[in-house]
Amino acid sequence: MRLDREGYPFTAVAVIAALAVYFFAGGYWSIPFWLFAVFVLQFFRDPTRDVPADDNLVVSPADGKVVAVGEAIDPISGNSATRIAIFLNVFSVHSNRIPVAGTITKKEYRTGKFLNAAVDKSAEENERNSIVIRDSDSHEITCIQIAGLIARRILCYVDTGDQVQKGQKYGFIRFGSRVELFLPPEYQVNVSIGDSVRGGADVIGSRS
């Protein structure tokens, strides 16, 4: 199983702790520590994804469950858009991926609260990091990483001016969290509330 780079130190600590308890206290007492090590491994897993080649398709920016789809105002550009909100629980893959190829035109971090990411209120009040991607037709797509109840760190590996590819890993949110995507009117949405999606692989929209 491939592991995301963010998981190396956490996995090392969990395994060392389990081994220490095993050797000094015995196998029975080490069981909870091994279970925790397995949890850490599954949380930071980094599966390979087959990214759809068609440039007109939008892939999910995260693994999780679609909890909201509807008309909205893009909080960064102020333009009309369709909002897709995806909730990631502690068992989801937490790597975040670029939904469309293009250029990063803006990156914006904002401090905030750590409410349960499953509720809509978290999208307005929680800590977040936003990026805006300009596609080949100059349409701008906003993607927002939102911290959750347990998450205390949002990681973003891209910056303004970077050229990015669809399906490329661009960030990571530790533990339960939320990712929201704002598509301009030129894009159609292909998912509904309740759908489960995989980041970088499942198509959630298309350019008309």
How is residue 15 written in tokens? 């395994």
Instruction: With beta carbons less than 8 A apart as the criterion, state whether 191 and 40 touch.
Output: no
Task: Look up 177 and say whether it is catalytic.
Answer: yes
Instruction: With beta carbons less than 8 A apart as the criterion, state whether 55 and 136 touch.
Output: yes
- Beta sheet of 80-88, edge-to-edge order: 163-164, 102-110, 128-134, 140-147, 177-183, 80-88, 64-73, 196-197
Q: What letter would DSSP give residue 192?
A: -
Set 77, 122, 177, 196: catalytic member = 177
Who's near 73: CB < 8 A, 6+ residues apart?
79, 80, 81
Active site positions, annotated: 177
